[in-house]
Chains A and B, each alone.
Chain A
Amino acid sequence: MDFHSNPIIPDTATAPDAYRTHAREWLKDNLPSYMRSDSLDYRTPTLEESSAWEAAMYRAGLAGMTWPKTYGGHGLSLREHLAVNKEIGALPMPESVSSIGKELAGPIIMTVGTEVQKQSFLPAILEMREYWCQGFSEPDAGSDLVRLRTRAVQEGDSWRINGQKIWTSGAAKAHYCLLLTRTGTVADKHRGLLMFAVPMNTPGIRVVPIRSIDNKESFAEVFFDDVVVPDSARLGAPDEGWSAAIRVLSIERATNRMYRAWRFECELRQLIQACKSDAQLSRRLQETYYQRRIGQLVCEIDALKGLVERSVEQLMNGEAIGARGSLTKLFWSECHQAFMALAQEIVSQVGPSSSPLAQRARKHFTTAYLFSHAETIYAGTTEVQLDIIAQRIMQLPKDI
């Protein structure tokens, strides 16, 4: 792969609009056609190809934008981050293979990590040298992490960890696990939770892939049997790591992958272009039933853009985002799920004589439709988000 290795990154202080133009042009010039899901050349990129692509994006100033320069970031504001995300969203490119590292582990390490941990982990995440997975959920502790059982016991300068995690995305490829454990018992509830950066090649870790409904093995069960890690793997003091994670999660829920609304718009264009390439599907688009549903979707996408842009402005003005990230998460996940159901309804009419682009769309949107059912589950289920909105935003009483 041949990406522009030394792009000239504009100075946002002198040319704020230039940064956006730079992002647009760099992405247009460098995104390989086989990574574009709207291309007949498309194929699933290998991990190495995705990694090389994301590393090139980072070198071009399009990743790690808000991270401090000291740790390899570009030291920019959320406004530039949003501007670049709009350009990323406008193209049908693959999702990051390192989103846990960039969106979760990185910000948590930045908040509670030691200087050594920051210097060691953060640049490696941005340069795509190390991938992370998230070890939070357990068989008995999905949305309710109070029931967490994975236990960490201190033994001198090290910790012995025993337990099991589940729904761990990307565990098979990860170099590190952002692992949440407890030092006491389940009776301690939220007290005594302790977070670690555990190398996945540590003896005693076993990864068992789980086949998901989209026929992939993107998540797994991870078993920790007498896993011993040094104290230097600890992220923050007991209780500190988790409370920091809660704060980070609330911000991340509102700001991570902020390109979604623009990506949904891009996907909608992709679906329509595929339909237009086929006589039968093209006629479908003339039906008022589909026009109305697409019109409703356009309204929802615009509202999602509004929610995201408002969050960015609030954060830029120094306002706490708090539980409001739940509004965005709930809105985008349900919006996209409904969109994918519509897409599935349309591409289900693709047959052997349909255009090649329509056939490509059938494959893409069928997979996306199935995957969209994960979106209302991960990062806090719909019901968890509704609870947060009711309790923390609306402050509805639970009792008299």
Chain B
Amino acid sequence: MSHQQDSLRPEEFAEAAAAAVADVLGRDARQAAAVLAASGLSGVCAPEERGGLGLGLEFGVPVCEAAGKLQLHFPLVEQLLLARAFADSDIADALIAGKKIGVIAWQGSVQQKSATHAAFADACDWILVADEDGASLLQAQSVSVHANDAIDPEFPLFDIAIEAPVIQARLSAKAWDALKNDAYVLYAGFINGLGGQALEQAAEYTATRVQFSRPLSAKQVVRHTLARMRLLHEASTAALQRALLKNEYSAVRSAETAFSGAIGNAVFIIEKAIHLHGGMGFTWELPLHYSLRDVRKIEAAFNNGHQLENLGAQFIAAA
């Protein structure tokens, strides 16, 4: 994949990203890391001197959208985040080259000796965990991981027991905060990809499934449900595009609202998509449930309910 930042636009990048992600599907984690690295996707937002493409975060969004749309089961979002956050060390080199896999435990801390909500922690080399003043990148072999498969038996979240951790590197509090804002952006992209795919699938299915001599989507109640799904998907996309732009005073915008909004909207879209598929929607065979599980896992990892309360509290305090 070549890049010409001056002329390349993120939306043009999407097609190439989708093709590269499609090439990874069905491979195990190590193979996937290598293929993604070969296509340049792991280092999209990392500096060129580290082997990355040196593109802005806005170019990571179509990559993550493609990953969501194709239901990629690999910590691509985390790879992008960590490669960007550790851009000044050889950790980035290893992630970008696909030699190492890094994941993030979004709750808990080193001090608590316990961290939770880490996806794909059973197949990684490093796990980023919050510490007293930022975050520590721990060697995976120095901690023990336990699957929490309540929401997803195939691709569970992991709890991490931290007794004698070996710290590979650290992020300052400022860098940890920056990574979290980047995470809101890239996860929002991933979530919008999941929602967009569910919407497309539901629209296609209801347009071809004939009942009472007409396609399901000819019926007003179905058309209106699909239109609402489309509306929310557009709202999520627009909110994310806005979050990527600087505000009127040239300051970076927080992406928290775009992220939290994307979760609620995607849950609505995917749940409705499942419902519109009727009995098929309730089967394991129809893969929409994977998308729902993915969104719910991210929602849980970031404790989105609490996050919404914080957004409200912040607005109240500032008013």
Q: From A269, A295, A383, A393, give the contact of B319 (CB < 8 A).
A: A269
Return the contact of B227 from the options A273, A297, A390 (Cβ within 8 A): A390
A305: CB under 8 A from chain B? yes
Chain A interface size, as a band, is 35 or more
Which of A83, A298, A393, A398 is the one whose CB lies under 8 Å from B312? Answer: A298
The 8 Å CB contact of A268, one of B206, B243, B258, B315, is B315
Chain B residue, CB-CB nearest to A289: B309
Are B260 and A295 closer than 8 Å at their CB atoms? yes
Residues of B within 8 A of A291 (CB): 308-310, 312-313, 316
Shortest Cβ distance from B319 into A: residue = A272
Q: Whole-angstrom distance between the alpha carbons of A310 and B245 in the complex?
A: 11
Within 8 A of B (CB), among A51-84: 83
Other-chain contact of A386, B218, B223, B245, B315 (Cβ < 8 Å): B223
**Hey, which chain A residues are within 8 Å of B228, CB to CB?**
386
CA distance A20 to B247 in the complex (A): 13
Are A307 and B238 in touch, CB under 8 angstroms?
yes
Q: Is A292 interfacial (CB 8 A cutoff)?
A: yes
Q: For this complex, into which size category does the number of interface residues on chain B fall?
A: 35 or more
A397 close to B207 (CB less than 8 A): yes
Residue A400, interface by CB 8 Å: yes
When each residue 224-267 of chain B gets 1 if its CB lies under 8 Å from chain A and 0 otherwise, what string results?
10111011001111111111010010000000011011001000
Asked if B214 is at the interface of the complex by the 8 Å CB criterion, the answer is: yes
Chain B residues with CB under 8 A of A244? none
Do B248 and A399 touch across chains, with their CB atoms under 8 A apart?
no
Known A303-B236, A307-B234, A327-B234; contact A292-B312, beta-carbon cutoff 8 A? yes
Distance in angstroms between the alpha carbons of A295 and B261 in the assembled complex = 10
Given contacts A291-B309, A400-B214, contact A389 B227 (CB under 8 A): yes
Do the beta carbons of B214 and A399 come within 8 Å of each other? Answer: yes
Asked if B309 contacts A295 (CB within 8 A), the reply is yes
Please name all residues of chain B whose beta carbon is closer than 8 Å to the beta carbon of A330 when the two chains form the complex. 231
- The 8 A CB mask of A379-399 against B (1 = contact, 0 = none) is 000010111011101101111
Asked if B258 and A302 make an inter-chain contact with CB atoms under 8 angstroms apart, the answer reads: yes
Interface digits, B199-225 against A, CB 8 Å rule (1 contact, 0 not)? 000010011001000110110100110
Which residues of B lie under 8 Å from residue A268 when comparing CB positions? 315, 319
B238 & A272 in contact (Cβ 8 Å cutoff): no
Main secondary structure of the interface of A (DSSP, over half): helix
Once the chains bind, are A327 and B231 in contact (CB under 8 Å)?
yes
Find out whether the CB atom of A386 lies under 8 angstroms from the CB atom of B319.
no
Asked whether A299 is an interface residue with its Cβ less than 8 Å from the other chain, the reply is yes
* Given A20-B248, A331-B231, A394-B203, A295 contacting B236 (CB threshold 8 A): no
CA distance A295 to B318 in the complex (A): 13
Decide yes or no whether A353 CB sits under 8 A from chain B: no
Docked pose: A387 CA to B206 CA in angstroms: 16
A14 beta carbon closer than 8 Å to chain B: no
**Inter-chain contact A394/B227, CB cutoff 8 Å:** yes
For the complex, is A173 an interface residue (Cβ under 8 Å from B)? Answer: no
Most interface-central of A303, A327, A385 (chain B CB within 10 A): A303
Within 8 A of B (CB), among A286-312: 288, 290-300, 302-307, 309-310
Contact A397 B217, CB 8 Å, known A302-B261, A303-B236: yes
Is A276 at the interface (CB under 8 A from chain B)? yes
A residues less than 8 Å from B258 (CB atoms): 299, 302-303, 306
Instruction: Indicate if A145 sits at the interface (CB-CB under 8 A).
Output: no
Q: In the bound complex, what is the Cα–Cα distance between A2 and B232 (angstroms)?
A: 45
CB distance from A128 to the nearest CB of B (A): 29
Extra pairs beyond A387-B220, A387-B224, A393-B230 (20, CB < 8 Å): A290-B312, A291-B312, A296-B312, A299-B258, A299-B311, A300-B235, A303-B238, A306-B241, A307-B238, A309-B245, A310-B238, A385-B227, A387-B223, A390-B223, A390-B227, A396-B217, A397-B218, A398-B218, A399-B215, A400-B210
Q: List 5 A-B contacts (CB under 8 A).
A: A272-B316, A295-B260, A296-B260, A327-B235, A399-B215
